[in-house]
Every structure is written in C-alpha cells, then in structure tokens.
Amino acid sequence: MVETAASVPEIRGLALDAIPYAELLESEQPAILKGVVAGWEIARLGKQSPQAVMNYIGAFDSGRPVVGYTGAPEIGGRFFYDSEMTGLNFDGKRVPLKEFLGRIAQHLEDQSAPSFYIGSTDLDLYLPGLHAENRLSLNDPMFDGNSPTVSIWIGNRTVASTHYDFSNNIACNLVGRRRFTLFPPSQIGNLYPGPFQPTPGGQVVSMVDLRNPDFGRYPRFREALGHALVAELEPGDALFYPAMWWHNVEALDAFNVMINYWWNVSPAFMDTPMITLLHALLSLRDRPEQEKQAWKELFDFYVFEGGDRPREHLPEHARGVLAPLDETSARRLRADLLQRLNR
C-alpha cells in the first residue's frame, strides 16, 4: 500500500564504534545504518540456518519462562483485536523459551503457519551473556546515567500494528527481512488510534490495517500515507528512529530475530508524560472551550515554551517548582501530587 512512499535514508560504512548518536538525535529523522550489525554472532549464524540461531539463543536460556504469543493462521500475522473489539485475536502465555522456539521450527516450511511472536524480552534477564557477544558500542556521553533497555524480538511472519514508543530506538535487524513504515508524530490525527485499554502490545495502536486500508472507514489515512517513510531492512541493518514516531513493523520471513535499544536523554527521575495525558483527560478535556484555551496558554507558558521565562522575574529562593528539577525536587513534587490526587 505504501509502494510510492519515500525511503528512509541510509548511512553506509559505519563501524560499530562510530555510530553518530548525537547527530541522529539532532536530525529528528529516521535513518538506516546499513550493515552496521552484520558482524554480530546472531547475524552470522542467521546466514547458516534458523536452527543454528535457535540453538545459539537457547544456549543462553536462563530458564525463566518467556511470554509467547500465538495467533491462528487466519490473522495473517497481525496481532490485533478480535472482530468485535471485545478481546484480542491471539493468546499470550508464559512458556519455556526452547519450547516456543521449537514451535516456530516445526512450521518453518508451512506457508499457512500459526503466528508466533516473542516480543520485547529483556536480554540480560532472560538470556544472560548473549548481549556481550551482540552489542552496540554506547560510547556517547548521552548514555551516562541513561542506560538503554535492550530487548530481543523473535518470531515468524508477524505484524506489529502501527504504534509509537516513548523512547528513542535503534532496532538491530539480525535474522530475516523486516519492513518498518514510519509516520511522524504530527500524523496522529490521520492514524486513527485505538483505545488506551486493552492494547495488543501494551501501547495504543492504529486501527488501520496498513496492508489493506479501509479508506471508507478511515479516509484521513490517505494523508498519513503521504508522510510515510519506509525502511526495508536486510539482516545486519539497524534502524534509528526518534521517540514518538509511529511505526508499523512487518517481519517478512519464516524466522526473524531483532534486538533493539530504547533510551531517553531526559533524567531518569522524570515521570512518563502518559501520566500527564491521562490526568489531562480527567481534568481538562471536557471543560468549556474558553477554559481549555486558557489552560493551553498556561501549559505553553510553563511547560512547552520552557526556559527561564516563567521564573526569571522571581528571586531564586521563591521559584519553587519553577526551578530546574533534580532528583530531590522531583520526589517532593511527586509526593505533593499524590497527596492532592488522594484527597
């Protein structure tokens, strides 16, 4: 459906220790780091066979059950809602890792296989030692105090419906081909987000099936497609994209493995803005329009414009919560908010 979409730009010839993290963030645009992780052991074994990769991954199994998702062949790999939106179209259960890998192996040659998926599984917790042999060089000061969350994704031909993440991401595609279709945050109104709860994967997803859009039901999606960027990843490629970019992810082969790095550059003591959004639904959304516009002015002044303007006319001792936050003041503010919410 997005054959005419622009392609994500490629950066070629990068060494692992030369990834320009700061430049990537400053660009505020996705970029393919062509072949940058082709030398990782998983990618090397992927050229041999799926079973070689499964054996390798299984050797690091900590014994902790993973969450394995299984969908019937009829869902075509798209983990989503059921037809009535009263539940989901797949099952998720805790299973031994090697057992779930065995299920995938049994259906490698099956063109109508069930959909199998292990998503966002913490590498160090579930596969200790594997990261040491398959890792990015995080040699930028931005990672000091902001250690990335490193996760592994394993499955067959699956689709993660269009969604966004709170963090910056480098997705390292190691086995199988993978297609990302990305939309900038400005396109949220054209992507028809689904409900906050439940969700197929813990995050709000677009209701539009990218492979077969229903433009009668979702007409504004045509506009979103005009802003789409497509990244076709081969094994060994990595994809950077900034926080809050929407992305649809299609795993295109019978066996696929990806490792991703999520990170933020904001201090760890800051809360997720989703809390603010949920509270705004409670406290702002249904107020009269003139009041909402007044509050918008307040948010712009105190939050979105930021800087020193809201506090520059106040003596330092009187700035209170307007002063730059640190871990101590954030803890105090959080305690004050909890007290107010519990009244």
Does residue 256 share a domain with residue 176?
A: yes
40/150 Cα distance (integer angstroms):
15
- Count: domains in the chain: 2
Domain, as residue range, for 329: 273-341
Does residue 285 share a domain with residue 234?
A: no
Could you tell me the CA-to-CA distances from 235 to 10, 90, 251 in Å, in that order? 14, 27, 11
Does residue 284 share a domain with residue 203?
A: no
39/46 Cα distance (integer angstroms):
11
Does residue 278 share a domain with residue 248?
A: no
Does residue 20 share a domain with residue 162?
A: yes
Does residue 282 share a domain with residue 259?
A: no
Domain assignment present for residue 89? The answer is yes
Domain assignment present for residue 268? The answer is no
Query: Pairing between strand 31-33 and 238-241?
Result: antiparallel
Does residue 63 share a domain with residue 155?
A: yes
Query: Where is the domain boundary, 263, 289, 307?
Result: 263
Instruction: Supply the pLDDT for residue 307.
Output: 85
222/206 Cα distance (integer angstroms):
14
The whole-model pTM stands at 0.93
Instruction: Supply the pLDDT for residue 343.
Output: 76
Does residue 294 share a domain with residue 238?
A: no
Q: What is the mean pLDDT of each run of 10 residues along the chain (343 residues)?
A: 82 95 96 98 97 98 97 96 92 97 96 94 97 94 90 97 96 98 98 93 94 97 97 98 98 98 90 92 95 95 90 92 90 90 83
Query: Where is the domain boundary, 263, 286, 301?
Result: 263
Residue 100 near residue 108 (C-beta atoms within 8 A):
no
205/246 Cα distance (integer angstroms):
9
Does residue 281 share a domain with residue 255?
A: no
Query: Where is the domain boundary, 225, 241, 263?
Result: 263
Domain assignment present for residue 1? The answer is no
Does residue 233 share a domain with residue 311?
A: no
Instruction: Supply the pLDDT for residue 292.
Output: 96
Q: Is the peptide bond before 273 cis (omega within 30 degrees of 0)?
A: no
Does residue 233 share a domain with residue 178?
A: yes
Q: Any bridge partners for residue 115, and if so which?
A: 71
Does residue 295 share a domain with residue 246?
A: no
Question: For residue 156, what is the domain's CATH number?
Answer: 2.60.120.650
Torsion angles phi and psi, residue 131, rounded to 5:
-65, -35
Domain assignment present for residue 278? The answer is yes
Domain assignment present for residue 241? The answer is yes
Domain assignment present for residue 336? The answer is yes
